[in-house]
Chain A
Amino acid sequence: MKNAPFLKAISLTLAIAFAFAALLPAAPTTAQDNPLTAGVSDKFAGTELRLIFANHPWNNTIQRLIPAFEQASGMSLRIESYFEDQLSQKLQVGLTSGTSTADAFMFRPLQEGRLFAKNGWLFDVKEFAAADADWNWNDFQEAARGTVTFEDMIFGVPIVTERQVLYYRKDLFAAKGLSAPTTLEELEAAAAALNDPANGIAGIVMRGQRAAAVTQFSSFLYSFGGDWVKDGVSALDSPEARAAYEYYGRLLREYGPQGTTNMSWPQAVAILQQGKAAMWIDADSLFLNATDPTRSSVAAEIGFAPFPAGPAGSQPYNITSWALGINELSENHEAAWEFVKWATSAPVVAELQKSGNPGPRISVWESADGLAGFPEEYAEVAKLQSTRGVGYDRPRVIGVGRARDIVGAPIVTAIEGGNLEAALKEAHDQFNAFLKEDN
């Protein structure tokens, strides 16, 4: 065993040599050649960035790409991930107490954006966005840009977009000789025709929980010609709003499964997955829940259709569900921007979208690559819906949580078949009082 140190040295040398050899083929693709990291500056080499992300498919994909960014920029990234409710609460508690050490984080611009911006927690990236012409802020969809703009400040950069879509069971529709509904009248007729409680199959399933239902109800409201707010006051007393609430409630009451008033999307999609509903209307970003055979017993039978047209046309929401924000309290604004800019650059967004994360860039939606990540049938619907729709799926206010509870309460009353007139009147008054305080 006298030779042991010598053998060790030899094997170590060999190992190092092999390691280098393994690097050789990779060597020609330096940071600047890799199309994903072209343009990344190494100005901030050595900086450690702390990021807080949501447990979201976007996060899973970006983590795969991040080593290339670290290599090109010389920065190191430390990432923490949380479920979305915990993320929101962690950020709020950390930012309120001024103890948050995150440099940048994911947040939901429609849920927390205005509150965060108003409280001075988000760094205004307007100047950065204007300075980087190559990065091209104008390539972002107009609605997405509008979502992160508040009082002349750009408080984040959109990363994930979302639209409402109709999922339907092709086999059940074919058995009755029906085709996918294109209007809300046809939708109700189809729900009535396919509703078969004796065999445990509901015509349609959607969310019915007070606050959770608000976003999915919004497309119905807009397609009936209604809105949450008009001219700064509640528009819940309009006949259009009333018709929309009435319609949504009737659909679930007459043709929905039991107990919808306690359903958010996980409960609703479970009904679809078990083959107990003919249709489901919800966000397109959830499509894997319906089409993944490991989760859904009817994966092969799922078809997609655009949101049906109401009296005011088809007006589904088309929103930015997630954005990246820079912490105002961070000392690394510029380094954080370098990361945000890279994560939202056209090649990275294209890569993300190829992995099934619908993004905010017009150029990506228009390229063939941009649609490659979606099921074939859905790609067409998604492309059609990416260009239209309303840029918000809940009231655009600061206290979103409270507003959702107010405007969501009549949805529950409508589903229960209670006194909708009185519920809407009460919600209308409360919403007006809320709007006066919401500043």
Chain B
Amino acid sequence: MNFLNRHIRATFVAPALVFVIAMMIVPIIYTTYLSFHAWNGSARRAPEYLGLDNYTRLLTRDPRFGDAVARTFIFTGIAVGAELTLGLGIALLINGKFMGHNIVKTLILLPMVATPVAIGMAWLLLYEPNIGALNALLRGLGLPPQDFLGSASLALFWLAVVDIWQWTPLMALILLAGLTALPEEPYEAARVDGASGWQRFMHLTLPLLFPTMIAAVLLRSIDALKTFDIIYTMTRGGPGFATETINTYGYIQSFEYFQLGQASSLLIVFFTLILAVSLFFVRIRRRWGAAL
């Protein structure tokens, strides 16, 4: 007991430390180790040391990787951009008290709590080009039916639509929290000075809300970069490789090709990319001097 009492600080930190080491540090070190080797899980053949070969191959000789990186960022850009715009709109709409505002706030959260795989299956049915609901609707309106996920050029966009549908509520929720926390005084001053609603939005709401928006975009971007479930359940990266992102490619490399070394190097590069994106946003926020 005395020992524990004397090291009371270490004692309280220890469980968290053990958890972080066991569940995060060790896997990262092991993945890094594997990323320099070729291994397919064989019990008979130990991992074979390759040096940087996995990395040079990924960066110079694997066109699928470069394409996947580009697609990952395009997907994230479309999804998070739309979510931010729509989320802001919704947050402004439901900010303040009106009849049934609690019900509305609960209802818009529903897409967020659904399971991604179930969402993928449901949207797969909606998108089905021949017997699906969306094309039936388009035909009914006299519009040309779409190939949706069967279209190599647009499949990624249709996947982003699903992400937008699911995650706009989260964006709206964060921005709503930010809106409620805004101070009243500047608005009163602006009103006294005769600023219009648009001017107040452009020169007060947006700048004041900016730190919140950065935080929301950071959260969503990291998530969107890592999107896996809806892509894998809906297209498996197809048609061809038209919707393959870094994460789905990493999954296929490890669990379908069993190239565990190559997959590890890919995941390390991906990890670095996400880290870079996070640091980028953290810096922006710091520059704007707001703490959140």
Contacts and interface: CB of A to CB of B under 8 A. Distances in A.
Interface of A: 89, 92, 95-96, 98, 115, 118-121, 200, 202, 208-211, 257-263, 267, 270-271, 274, 276, 399, 401-402, 405, 409, 412-413, 416
Interface stretch (B20-28, B191-199, B255-263): B255-263
A401 B256 contact: yes
A211 B236 CA distance: 10
B41 A259 contact: no
A399 B130 contact: no
Given A261-B238, A262-B149, A115 B128 contact: no
A399 B147 contact: no
A270 B241 CA distance: 24
B283 interface: no
A261 B240 contact: yes
A299 B129 CA distance: 23
Contacts, number: 100
Given A120-B43, A261-B152, A274-B130, 18 more contacts: A92-B41, A119-B43, A119-B45, A120-B42, A120-B44, A121-B43, A210-B239, A259-B148, A259-B151, A263-B150, A270-B128, A399-B257, A399-B259, A401-B257, A409-B241, A412-B152, A416-B152, A416-B240
A118 B238 contact: no
B105 to A, nearest CB: 36
A119 B239 contact: no
Interface residues of B, number: 33
B129 A98 contact: no
Contacts of B236: 209-211
Interface of B: 40-45, 128-131, 135, 145, 147-152, 155, 234-241, 252, 255-259
Contact of A276 (B130, B151, B259): B130
A270 B258 CA distance: 32
B239 A412 contact: yes
Contacts of A271: 130-131
Contacts of A267: 128
15 contacts: A96-B41, A96-B43, A98-B43, A115-B40, A119-B40, A119-B42, A119-B43, A119-B44, A209-B236, A260-B150, A261-B152, A262-B234, A262-B235, A271-B131, A401-B256
B238 A210 contact: yes
Contacts of B130: 200, 202, 257-259, 271, 274, 276
A259 B147 contact: yes
Contacts of B135: 258
A413 B238 CA distance: 11
A258 B147 contact: yes
Interface hub of A262, A263, A402 (most chain B Cβ within 10 A): A262
A115 B258 contact: yes
